[in-house]
Structure formats: C-alpha cells, structure tokens
Chain A
C-alpha cells in the first residue's frame, strides 16, 4: 500500500454510534495528522499525533498511533449527522521535508 492508506474506504453508521477509521503507512514518520473534508470544501485539521505519542484525545476524537505497525486509528465517539465527511490521514516524514502525504480517505456517512 502507499504512504497513508485509510480503511475502510466508506463507512455508514447510525447517529450515536462510534466510528473507527484506520490508516497505514510505509515509511518512518515525524507525525501523523487527520483532516476532515466536507463535500466540495477545504480540509480541516483535526488532530496531530507525534511519532513518540501513542494516543491523543480531542473532544469526541481519539487517535492512536502504533509506529511498530505503522498504523493509526481515528475514533469518533457518539457520532452526529454533522460528522458526515471524508476523513484523511496525512503523514509528515520530518527532516528537511516540507510536505504532507495524504491517503485516499474514508467517506463517513452518519445517518440520523
């Protein structure tokens, strides 16, 4: 798989349920970031987790990072219809690199 691959590609849940999205990557990273994109709109930064961190919380979001497995997960608890969007992971390899590498994203649909 390529750097930053999310699964599933699409996820449909009911309001109130939890949503879990996964991301795998290939190379060593400095940090991993999650972004949300509403249809046809810009990317919104949700959370950043550094390579020396294992878990991070922000409101209803919980991100884990397992550098040994080169994987991350994003958990959205108590989902709402407004959480319907595409979610992307993006990796930064650090050093002199000034770019993020994005995955293809998971399309989350939360049904009311």
Chain B
C-alpha cells in the first residue's frame, strides 16, 4: 500500500530557530496538505497545495510558515522562527483528486518540540 513518508519523526528545536519538516507524498497524488495537532486538541488545517501553489491556508499559517515542493517528490513545511506554541504533531497528507471525492492519505507525523 502506498504511503506518505514524513521525516524526521521527532524534532526538538530551540525557540527562534528555523525548522523544515519533510514529506514525500504518494507519487501520483496531486494535492498536498499540512495539518497539525497540538497535544490533546483537534487536528487543524494549515495549508493545501496544488499545481505548485497554495490553494488555501488557515489563519495559523502566517508569514512564519512556508511550503515548497522543491522537486517532483518532496513537499516541505518551513517554520522560520519557531515559538513555544508551535510545539505539535505535524501531519502531511496527499490526495489524488482533491478532498471532495476521496479521503486523504496521511503520514505518521513529525512531533515538533520547541524548547
């Protein structure tokens, strides 16, 4: 079964540092997403990406966040200057046709801890 792969599984970073979370979506998927889940809270939408541009972003996704698809396989989320409140599990997801007909395939997540 095809998988969405995320690396690293756990990252600890100092407040104010930049972090890049990496994802390899399923190869024939066209839509890519980042979600996050603060411990004990809901899974929250951050951003969706299609055709090499952001399709939609949430209020959480401010200027400190950016996404990139630097080549044909990777999809990255960058946080420029991390804050304590950025500590969360970050999930990458992909879908072949968009969210309206099929479910997403999620990765196992990257647990980001900002200290």
A96 to B100, CA, bound (A): 10
**What's the nearest-Cβ distance from chain A to residue B65, in Å?**
15
Tell me, yes or no, whether B7 is within 8 Å of chain A by CB: no
With a cutoff of 8 Å between Cβ atoms, the chain B residues found around residue A90 in the complex are 43
Asked whether, in the complex, the Cβ of B91 is within 8 Å of the Cβ of A98, the reply is no
B102 nearest CB neighbor, chain A only? A48
With a cutoff of 8 Å between Cβ atoms, the chain B residues found around residue A25 in the complex are none
Number of A residues whose C-beta is below 8 Å from B?
28
With a cutoff of 8 Å between Cβ atoms, the chain A residues found around residue B98 in the complex are 98
A26 to B31, CA, bound (A): 26
Q: Mark B residues whose CB is within 8 Å of A.
A: 4, 31, 33, 35, 41-45, 48, 50, 55-56, 58, 89, 91, 93, 98-109, 111
Q: Mark A residues whose CB is within 8 Å of B.
A: 30-31, 33, 35, 40-48, 50, 88, 90, 92, 94, 96-105
A-B contact pairs, 19 of them (CB 8 A): A31-B101, A33-B103, A33-B104, A41-B108, A42-B4, A42-B107, A42-B108, A43-B43, A44-B106, A47-B103, A48-B103, A50-B101, A88-B43, A94-B100, A97-B99, A98-B33, A98-B50, A98-B56, A103-B42
